[in-house]
Copies of this chain bind each other. A is one copy, B any other.
Amino acid sequence: MDVVALAGGVGAARFLRGLIRVVDPARVTAVVNTGDDLQLHGLHISPDLDTITYTLGGGVHPEQGWGRAGETVTVATELADRYGVEPWFTLGDRDLATHLFRTDALRSGEPLSSVTSRIARAWGLPIDLLPMTDDPVATVVTTDDGRELHFQRWWVQEGARPPVRSVQLRGGAASQPAPGVIDALLDADVVVLCPSNPVVSIGTILAVPGIRELLRRKPVVGISPIVGGRVVRGMADRLLPAEGVEVSCVGVATYYRDFLDAWVIDQADAQLADPIRALGIDVAVTDTIMRDAGVAADVAKTALALTR
Chain A: residues with CB nearer than 8 A to chain B?
A: 41-43, 72, 74-76, 78-79, 82-85, 93-94, 96-98, 100-101, 103-104, 107, 118-119, 122-123
Pair A96/B119 contact, Cβ less than 8 Å: no
A83 / chain B contacts, CB cutoff of 8 Å: 97-98, 101, 118-119, 122
Which chain B residues lie closer than 8 Å to A104 at the CB level? 41-42
Chain B residues contacting A42 (CB-CB under 8 Å) are: 42, 100, 103-104, 107
CB distance from A109 to the nearest CB of B (A): 12
Partner of A100, one of B41, B94, B101, B107: B41
Min distance, Cβ A297 to any Cβ of chain B, angstroms: 27
Is B100 a contact partner of A79 (Cβ separation < 8 A)?
Answer: yes
Closest 4 CB pairs of A and B: A78-B97, A74-B93, A42-B104, A41-B100
- Are A79 and B97 within 8 A (Cβ)? yes
CB pairs A–B below 8 angstroms (24 shown): A41-B100, A41-B101, A41-B103, A41-B104, A42-B103, A42-B104, A43-B100, A72-B72, A72-B93, A74-B74, A74-B94, A75-B75, A75-B94, A75-B96, A75-B97, A78-B94, A78-B96, A78-B97, A78-B98, A79-B101, A82-B97, A82-B98, A83-B119, A85-B101
Nearest CB to that of A118 among chain B residues?
A: B83
Number of copies: 2
A86 CB, nearest partner CB in chain B, Å? 12
Q: Is the CB of A122 within 8 A of B84?
A: yes
How many Å from the CB of A236 to the closest CB on chain B? Answer: 32
Besides A41-B103, A75-B75, 4 new A-B residue pairs in contact (Cβ under 8 A), listed by A number: A72-B72, A72-B93, A75-B96, A79-B101
Do A78 and B107 touch across chains, with their CB atoms under 8 A apart?
no
Among A42, A84, A118, the one with the most B-chain Cβ atoms within 10 Å of its Cβ is A42
> Residue of B at shortest CB range from A68?
B78
* Minimum CB distance partner of A40 in chain B: B104
Residue of B nearest to A43 (CB): B100
A84, closest chain B residue (CB): B122
A118 to B41, CA, bound (A): 16
